[in-house]
Amino acid sequence: MNTRLLGALVAGFFALGVATSADAKPLKVFILAGQSNMEGHAAISTFDYIGKDPLTAPLLKEMRNPDGTPRVCDRVWMSYLTGPYDGSANGEGLGKLTAGFGERGNQPTRIGGKIGPEFTFGIYMEKGLKEPILIIKTAWGGRSLNTEFRPPSAGQYKLPKQMQELWDKYPQGAHGIPKVEDRKKWQDEKNAASGVFYRMMIEHVKKVLADPKRVCPEYDEKAGYELAGFVWLQGFNDLVDGTTYPGPDRPGKYDEYSRLLAHFIRDVRKDLSAPNMPFVIGVLGVDGVKNEHFRKAMAAPAKIPEFRGNVIAVDTAPFWDYDIAAAEPKNHTYNNIVNTAHSLKKDGSLDRDWKWESYWKPVGKPLPEERTWRFITIEPTEKKDRIEKYDARRFRDITLPAGMQNWSMPDFDDSKWMKGKGPIGKGVWKHSGITLDKFPSKWGAGEFLLMRTTFEVEDLNFDSYRLAILARQGFHVYLNGQKIHTYIWWMDNPYYRSIALGKDEIKYLKKGMNVLAVYANDQYGIETPEHYGAIDARIEGITKADQKKLDLALEEILSLKDREALKGASNGGYHYFGSAKIFAQMGKAFAEAILNLQK
């Protein structure tokens, strides 16, 4: 090849815009840090709700591929340090940014089903910068700025004067106040916890920056990297900390948070050798415009002269979803209704006047209250079956006496067992203003109860079926010898629960004689050592016509608009309802804030 031709080829090569190392830009690195809302509890299942609002529908288009799957950002890489709230089992999540870099519980290295603000933050940063991006995210739930994220220059944690005076009044201790002799231990533990997560954050950022190519394959060592921005989203644990921020809500109550955050910004910049790194304060917006004094305290450092031009506060309150907020309490009422088969009066008897009582009907004859139960009580005899120490969750399978292994089968001979009507109970079950202490049949002394009844079915003409059961502790339920439900926890409130039975369970229901059997255990507590409990069960059905009537009546409790709004929620209000619509708007706003600071 002659020299002239080679020169022409080289000139053409660069004319196409292929950059050399000399032209390459430093890799833009962004740090995202905070507590559970920075983790992000927005389930991917709430994405559709974003598209229902014309104002946020364009966001959803950015978040999804044409086929509806979450977008993968080809030029945005993630290093995500997280884990259980106490930091005991941290792990690093790596990969290209997509949905799934939200809260991960005890599986920090696995892509999950949630997002935080990082998803749209990365999308809009990629869109704005059009170059490779590295996001380093560190977040853990339940961590405060005054303790776990406490910055080094803030000094040792000290009780505010108001709390110190209160402690001085109660040397013997009181609720939330340790005894005098325990206060050194309290302070030592506070000191030990102070700054632990701040140090974890800084150490992880330095680890990633020591070898960016490990996370971001497009990293050019000669071009290096630039710490281009820091986003802080935290605050809830400080908002509710009455020890560090005592007294009623008022101006100045959270001044200490402002002081701590200013130290945090200075220390982060110092420890990462980035004195002018743009810093975004994500101002807590839980409950919308409420918590005004705390929100002002969070935003206050942005107005400090030394931070002007490179620290900005982004208020997340405007993204609060008031439709979801209005629907949530109604949803609680709605769930109580649909999860309750039968309500009880104060004396423990069935409340036949309960508004929702008439839609579901008992399956089979005789009627449930007329049926005879055969039952026997059993005490654990083998060592492995005994619980030596009190445990609220005490339901377990124990070794049954010889000859009782097939006790739930239809042909089992229970003629020598006790018999009586339900509910079968013992002691006093008292909760929520209801007292159960009068039972048609007595449980007996044993901790465990085995019970069986029969009912005859003429027609299987219901469209849906449920199990209605009253139980204090856990239980197994069998229909014609086949297990149809297990519950291993406990229930404080006395009522008949509604448990839906699907095709896999109801296939055991037949025309003719059926056997319903229950295995359960009683309850006792440290403060109430006397054993108590109650158990009763029946199968019920509903037709499509009655279900339609029920659904229509339930719209008075939870309207169709409310139900539509709740499709956008997957968690509690303190986690912004786990709504992708809220987190998507936050991430975009954080990105736009940093891009504006860089101009």
pLDDT tens readout for residues 55-107: 999 999 999 999 999 999 999 999 999 999 899 999 999 999 999 999 999 99
The CATH 3.40.50.1110 portion of the chain extends over: 25-154+194-321+570-598
For residue 235, pLDDT beyond 60: yes
The predicted-structure confidence for 260-314, as pLDDT tens digits, reads as follows: 999 999 999 999 999 999 999 999 999 999 999 999 999 999 999 999 999 999 9
- Cα separation of 497 and 342, whole Å? 7
DSSP letter string, 454-515? EEEES----SEEEEEEEESS-EEEEETTEEEEEE-S---S-SEEEEEE-HHHHTT--SEEEE
Q: What percent of the chain has pLDDT over 90?
A: 91
- Under the banding of pLDDT at 50, 70 and 90, the label for residue 8 is very low
Taking only Cα atoms into account, the Rg of the chain, rounded to an integer number of angstroms, comes to: 31
CA distance 516 to 434: 27
CATH no., domain 334-541: 2.60.120.260
CA atoms within 13 A on the CB side of 161: 1
Q: Looking at residue 275, what is its pLDDT?
A: 97
Residue 17 reports pLDDT greater than 90 = no
First to last CA, the chain: 47
Start-end of CATH 2.60.120.260 domains in the chain:
334-541
Q: 25-154+194-321+570-598: which CATH number, 3.40.50.720, 3.30.565.10, 3.40.50.1110, 3.40.190.150?
A: 3.40.50.1110
- Residues 149-191: pLDDT tens digits? 999 999 999 999 999 999 999 999 999 999 999 999 999 999 9
Q: Per-residue confidence at 528, pLDDT binned at 50, 70, 90?
A: low
* Residue 6 one-letter amino acid: L
Tell me what the mean pLDDT of segment 535-563 comes to: 97
